[in-house]
Structure 1
């Protein structure tokens, strides 16, 4: 504990404003006054209640109305709960529901006069909104098919329930942490809940024949969790979790809120020292890590029907960008009761499952109104798409986001048809990363950009190569500040490449590992999408620049530049940039005598600036050639 204490003291010169606000009153005192606040309206709502205390109970003041986060442990709703959420959304919230990446829902457009009533109506069916915002342990996520899927080894919902009993509506845990705390528990082989992306991650493992969990700690936006080299048995999970929260509560930083997540404490004290403190707090000596078992993507990726252990089916309803309604939630609950066991399970990727549908009832189930309504989204580009709120309902949003994601998926579905494929596309409306764009195959972060005419428009930073499998990793930025209208074409060419080079049912993540990232630098891939956008979508030349199946450049940028230049010269002119020297071995080449605008002379449709770019890529003198793709990408902006 001494190392943690020293780290805390070094960061305790001043506390942040939120910590000062937290000292003003107890959160439960505010909760007790909700009826009074509802009756008096905004006049009885203090500034500290609005900016902090109400958030402890899921209530976010949006100025004219409220957003409410509804806590749904493990994403599991019984029929009565699903119906009630739908009814509340219809009656009080403009019939609007957002399904979120924490496997819960957000209700919007609630009036202050109704908030106490809404919370009571939800509580009648066992639904709480406690600790869904502010400095609290948030909703615990797991496999949406936990306990019923073929690849589920440890049913995690019983463990989630035990942890809920510890924190839940316990006043001792409300608002006592330095920052929010996200937890995931995965007892399945497939990663269906971004299991390496939380502050605390219980990851299915086997140690000397015993199934339990390896611990990974300290994820945040842009960074995946680190291996803590610790194995926790099923029975040890509650004690470990309580000790972990206690240590974070006692030693977590409370100065700069941007650096108060668990990640920063681990960064300063070291994960081994932190674990020693947790062991001391728990009074237990947990074993070293076993073998991590999670090693594949979601077992249901790319599929709507999933066969379960009891030979019934789960059916995945694709909800574009998580935009749902109270009406449809009620209809989904009716279909679940008529054809399944009545339960609904929300997913990390903002969709939902209706479970335990008998095989003989599947055809009739799929003809129900609510299922037919969403069936049109059963395609590659909607199946595994995530998008956070955006400007319509979030003050941090830079772009609309949800609608942008939907329009992108519709465009790609019309442009690039791929069979037996899986591609995960995640959208965040701002750098906060609520759409977890960093772990997507193709990720989008909202920003402002300039179009070809210099106008300020909605744009994205485009990311490539996120990983959610056993080797979880963050994506690399491929392009900065692309107008969205241009970005869709860059993605189109990535997917055209995937379609032409993929092996059988290979996922995009596996394709990236095997082909893209292994053979090409990210700079080369960036140039590939940019040059195709220019050739085909800006200039209309209908000339597709392809990447070789077996490149010889070995990801060395200078060689990639040169070989790309040679291919472009041939593609645009039909002639070779270099020719064999007469009478000598074929390997002896000499340059054609060309000028900077030679490509334009050979092909009048090519602008002079593009001709110059190709010349710089293939200059006769190696020392005069362009050395990095970045300078060419800047030059291509003028084309």
Structure 2
């Protein structure tokens, strides 16, 4: 848009003109698609607004200057102006390009692939259908397939890579046709709603999470199209709903979790306990706290509404590092938090129950298979589901198209994503199991019977595409996995869960793995190199424990890392060495 001869003053004047045209568009309901009457700022109490304006939190001030929810209109306008040649993507104010557009689910990859975006969807309960996946593939095929791909996240979600901003309006229209949302999937919003990946099909489940996950998504994000009521939280907010008393949805590291108990209500349906305040972060890692209150299924939406409004209105906003929900829980104490929630429920005649003092949860730990891989029986007669591993969670466009075809042919078009970055094909007729297992994609890339290390592998995006990543993770994790499986056997262990995360933000959830590798600086021959801090002993489920540091600052090159991993696998996981590292080298 601007030539080199244009002065800085002229450039600023032109950008101001663009900003004014955007604001005029927002104010005119007839000239702007998807105009919102209110922004997230409008839902904040006056006291909170005043505190933000008087405070020193730069991100809160940025939101006060222009609310992130305005990105729901900006994304269309920027897309149009780019297509019409009225601006270049470099001309967009960086606060919009790199921050506010995340409210629309568009994440600029400035450091790695400038001018392209990662799009994070909203897929409640991790359910996606073959026609939806195929539609996404069709759109991605307009780009360089070395950059355009899918990543499964640890929230049962999909991230799409390589999309350009000028195509954003077309992409959003495609999502609308596919009935998929992406708004409010980033920044200070409620993230994808996690539920049981075997909801409605597992013979032993206590509760089918699908309906409530979809209802929560609709309430919080207007089906992923954007809802300003919850668009200006102090930080991100994670919600999970489990199908068992045992935590199978990573609920202990979510801000708000509902887990069913074996105590039934008057309708014969399970009641739910409420967990609050779990998180993994650079400064703080915390297992969630039990609020010691039960609610029936019909109260889950109102409890969620109450908690989000409490967090929005009273959450700490002075420091980004201390703004997650757990900090408000600790400031108030669990008793005050519980009392505030109960007061709001009672005011609206919403049912809640004090737990029975002598109640003992039935042992449900054996009802749920931690591994969902391979062929497993369903509650429906003559039906099975098939769980397959996705190495490091990465799927190419061609693989996704083949997977959509397999789903069409064998699982009524349905696919389900898991928090372990894998997928499930449900509702397969027993009569066609052999035909399913013969599919080349499932015999090769997406195995249903992987070896122990690949079986438990999880990896964040890493530095390949993420500007925060200190190390490359996905390719390195697969290479290390292959090397280790050639060197050692696991005679007594089916799965060893190894999680890779590129930085302390821990999107790869290193602290809940058997072995977690977190990107960190290391020294080799006196020089700084890519390295990892290693955690061990993390687990969720019946007795959740966060992992602890085993070694720090290990260089990532395999000459250093492989011996450390072999020693760790031998001493803690019963691995038996079958070949020397020198033979691999």
Q: TM-score, normalised by structure 2?
A: 0.80
Structure with bigger RCO (C-alpha 8 Å, 6+ apart)? 2
Q: Which position in structure 2 is the counterpart of 1:309?
A: 379
Change (3 A) 1:449 1:207: same
Tell me, in whole angstroms, the C-alpha distance in 2 between the residues paired with 1:15 and 1:296. Answer: 50
SS at match of 2:392: helix
Tell me, in whole angstroms, the C-alpha distance in 2 between the residues paired with 1:117 and 1:93. Answer: 18
Q: Could you tell me how far 1:279 is from its partner in structure 2?
A: 1.6
SS at match of 2:77: helix
Q: Does 1:358 align with 2:358?
A: no
Give the alignment of 1:122-271 within 5 angstroms: 122-169=175-222, 170-188=226-244, 191-207=247-263, 211-221=270-280, 222-271=285-334
SS at match of 1:467: coil
Q: Does 1:482 align with 2:554?
A: yes
Change (3 A) 1:288 1:384: farther
Q: Is the 8 A contact 2:373 2:389 kept in 1?
A: no
Q: Could you tell me how far 1:445 is from its partner in structure 2?
A: 0.8
Q: Is the 8 A contact 1:190 1:296 kept in 2?
A: no
Q: Could you tell me how far 1:206 is from its partner in structure 2?
A: 2.6
Tell me, in whole angstroms, the C-alpha distance in 1 between the residues paired with 2:256 and 2:230. Answer: 18
Give the alignment of 1:543-558 within 5 angstroms: none
Partner of residue 56 from structure 1, selected from 89, 103, 112:
103
Structure 1 residues 45-68: Cα deviation after superposition (integer angstroms, max 9, x where no partner): 223322332111110112221111
Q: Does 1:78 align with 2:78?
A: no
Tell me, in whole angstroms, the C-alpha distance in 1 between the residues paired with 2:196 and 2:118. Answer: 26
Partner of residue 324 from structure 1, selected from 391, 395, 404:
395
Q: For this pair of structures, how many residues does the alignment match?
A: 501
Tell me, in whole angstroms, the C-alpha distance in 1 between the residues paired with 2:353 and 2:385. Answer: 36
Partner of residue 415 from structure 2, selected from 337, 341, 344:
344
Q: Is the 8 A contact 1:89 1:325 kept in 2?
A: no
Partner of residue 472 from structure 1, selected from 544, 551, 576:
544
Tell me, in whole angstroms, the C-alpha distance in 2 between the residues paired with 1:15 and 1:233. Answer: 42
Tell me, in whole angstroms, the C-alpha distance in 2 between the residues paired with 1:537 and 1:343. Answer: 43
SS at match of 1:98: strand
Q: Is the 8 A contact 1:183 1:198 kept in 2?
A: yes
Structure 1 residues 57-97: Cα deviation after superposition (integer angstroms, max 9, x where no partner): 11011222111101111100122212212222333463411
Q: Could you tell me how far 1:29 is from its partner in structure 2?
A: 3.8
Partner of residue 109 from structure 1, selected from 131, 145, 162:
162
Tell me, in whole angstroms, the C-alpha distance in 1 between the residues paired with 2:399 and 2:570. Answer: 35
Q: Is the 8 A contact 1:466 1:474 kept in 2?
A: yes
Q: Could you tell me how far 1:190 is from its partner in structure 2?
A: 5.2
Q: Does 1:374 align with 2:440?
A: no
Q: Which position in structure 1 is the counterpart of 2:86?
A: none
Tell me, in whole angstroms, the C-alpha distance in 1 between the residues paired with 2:422 and 2:251. Answer: 17
Tell me, in whole angstroms, the C-alpha distance in 2 between the residues paired with 1:291 and 1:81. Answer: 43
Tell me, in whole angstroms, the C-alpha distance in 2 between the residues paired with 1:173 and 1:9. Answer: 15
Tell me, in whole angstroms, the C-alpha distance in 1 between the residues paired with 2:476 and 2:304. Answer: 39
Structure 1 residues 472-515: Cα deviation after superposition (integer angstroms, max 9, x where no partner): 1100111111123233322223333456499xxxxxxxxxxxxx
Higher mean C-alpha deviation, range 260-269 or range 295-304: 295-304
Partner of residue 94 from structure 2, selected from 36, 42, 47:
47
Q: Could you tell me how far 1:537 is from its partner in structure 2?
A: 7.1
Tell me, in whole angstroms, the C-alpha distance in 1 between the residues paired with 2:360 and 2:138. Answer: 45
Higher mean C-alpha deviation, range 79-88 or range 321-330: 79-88
Give the alignment of 1:11-26 within 5 angstroms: 14-26=55-67
Q: Which position in structure 2 is the counterpart of 1:545?
A: none
Q: Is the 8 A contact 1:191 1:298 kept in 2?
A: no
Q: TM-score, normalised by structure 1?
A: 0.73
Change (3 A) 1:205 1:457: same
SS at match of 1:288: coil
Change (3 A) 1:501 1:427: closer
Partner of residue 454 from structure 1, selected from 507, 526, 533:
526
| Bigger radius of gyration among the two | 1
Q: Is the 8 A contact 1:232 1:287 kept in 2?
A: yes
Q: Could you tell me how far 1:387 is from its partner in structure 2?
A: 0.7
Unaligned residue ranges in structure 1 (runs of 5+) = 503-531, 541-639
Higher mean C-alpha deviation, range 47-56 or range 180-189: 47-56
Q: Could you tell me how far 1:422 is from its partner in structure 2?
A: 2.0
Tell me, in whole angstroms, the C-alpha distance in 2 between the residues paired with 1:295 and 1:269. Answer: 33
SS at match of 1:449: strand
SS at match of 1:160: helix
Structure 1 residues 511-537: Cα deviation after superposition (integer angstroms, max 9, x where no partner): xxxxxxxxxxxxxxxxxxxxx9xxx97
SS at match of 1:117: helix
SS at match of 2:297: coil
Tell me, in whole angstroms, the C-alpha distance in 1 between the residues paired with 2:306 and 2:206. Answer: 25
Tell me, in whole angstroms, the C-alpha distance in 2 between the residues paired with 1:475 and 1:151. Answer: 29
Q: Could you tell me how far 1:9 is from its partner in structure 2?
A: 12
Q: Could you tell me how far 1:261 is from its partner in structure 2?
A: 0.4
Tell me, in whole angstroms, the C-alpha distance in 2 between the residues paired with 1:242 and 1:93. Answer: 42
Q: Could you tell me how far 1:331 is from its partner in structure 2?
A: 1.0
Q: Is the 8 A contact 2:245 2:259 kept in 1?
A: no
Q: Is the 8 A contact 1:74 1:141 kept in 2?
A: yes
Q: Could you tell me how far 1:11 is from its partner in structure 2?
A: 8.2
Change (3 A) 1:537 1:454: farther
Higher mean C-alpha deviation, range 355-364 or range 288-297: 288-297
Q: Is the 8 A contact 2:457 2:498 kept in 1?
A: yes
Q: Which position in structure 2 is the counterpart of 1:91?
A: 142
Change (3 A) 1:162 1:374: same
